[in-house]
Amino acid sequence: MINILDYFNKIGIGPTPGELLTILAATGRGKSWGLIYFGKYALLQRWRVLHLTLEMGESSVAMRYIQSFFSVARRESRVSHPIFDVDGEGRFKGFDINEIDRPTLKDDGIQGYLKSKIKKMGSRWQLVIKKFPTNSLTMAGLRAYLDQLEMIHFFIPDVIIVDYADLMHIDAANVRLETGQVYKDLRGLADERFCSVLTASQSNRLGEGVRLITLKHFAEDYSKAATSDVVLSYNQTPEEKMLNLARLFVAKNRDEESGRTVLLSQNYHTGQFCLDSCLMKLAEYWEQVDEDTRGRPNEKD
């Protein structure tokens, strides 16, 4: 097994000062969970994280961070996820399904349990979550908010997460042009403030239902791909979703290695974007996915 972020660090991928990282995925396919995963990673490094949400409420984002940190299930205590068997180079050989019991948000005494867990984190929780209405946040407004955080709260973020850039203020009459400009401005902000900016983008219609999303599947303006330093596409077929599997494809990695795919073992019921990971080996992987889902009912989202 390899740790996904250990592998990504080796090829220059992760929250990096002065760079823009974009997660590309189809509608409703884990973009927000991916951003929270990287936010969690940054917090564990004791970095200051500003998480801007333009869609979900602040309490919903906070609860996702709590689930991600402490693996708390929403309803069912019995959850499952794949565990990978790998070769000596960390490449996929097979997987088994692991079932475990986790506390749930409906358990008696869960609030006290979580409060004690959060207290133990201490100063590691340097996290600010801020909600802005969809299509209301401008770059001028974002800069003003950053100045306010610094002057009033002495909070200067190392990582800024924008969930997601396509929901910032964009003139409906010039969607394509202004969307591309938003990404350029975010890239400029990362450089200007020497912080890492992470965001997500929705794929176009061609990206719906394909097995692998690539740069050609960016919606509205391809310049978003050109502006981003790193683009990770999140891929999951209906069969993979049934098994709590997904793939991250390195679609772009400026000046470094790209084109590799990392397999993810997940469980969103406990807030886990990545529980286990390994490098992909195509033939063996798809053979087992087909075998393990044959005859299973297709679960609804």
* Per-residue pLDDT band at 301 (split at 50, 70, 90): very low
**Using one digit for the tens of pLDDT, what is the confidence trace for 82-112?**
999 988 888 888 999 999 999 999 999 999 9
Segments in 45-174 forming alpha helices (H): 58-70, 110-121, 139-153
Q: Is 163 helix (H, G, I), strand (E, B) or coil?
A: strand
- Rounded to an integer, what distance in angstroms lies between the CA atom of residue 79 and that of residue 186? 38
Give the mean pLDDT of 14-40.
Answer: 91
Mean of the per-residue pLDDT values of the chain: 88
Taking residues 16-28, report their average pLDDT.
Answer: 91
Residue with tokens 């906070």: 62
Q: Which residue has the higher pLDDT, 204 or 233?
A: 233
Beta strands in 63-214 (DSSP E): 78-86, 92-101, 127-131, 159-163, 196-202
Indicate if the pLDDT at residue 203 is higher than 70: yes
Q: Which of 36-50, 90-104, 154-168, 211-225 has the lowest mean pLDDT?
A: 211-225
For the cut 90, the answer to whether the pLDDT of residue 285 exceeds it is no
All domains in the chain, ordered by first residue: 4-293 (3.40.50.300)
pLDDT surpasses 50 at 188: yes
Q: pLDDT per residue over 140-160, tens digit each?
A: 999 999 999 999 999 999 999
CB neighbours of 50 closer than 8 A, spacing ≥ 6? 128, 130, 146, 149, 155, 157, 159, 160, 161
pLDDT at position 48, please? 96
- Burial label for 164, CB within 10 Å (0-12, 13-18, 19+), is buried
Q: Fill in the DSSP letter of residue 46.
A: T
Joined tokens for residue 15: 């929250």
Confirm if 153 and 146 have CB atoms less than 8 A apart.
no
CB atoms near residue 238 (< 10 Å): 11
Q: Residue 242: what pLDDT? A: 92
Give the confidence band of 6 by pLDDT, cuts at 50, 70, 90.
low
- Average pLDDT (287-293) is 84
pTM: 0.90
* Residue with token string 């190392």: 158
Confidence of residue 247 (pLDDT cuts 50, 70, 90): very high
Distances (CA, A) of 208 to 24, 34, 238: 12, 18, 12
Q: Determine the pLDDT at residue 1.
A: 43
Instruction: Report, as an integer, the average pLDDT of 214-240.
Output: 86
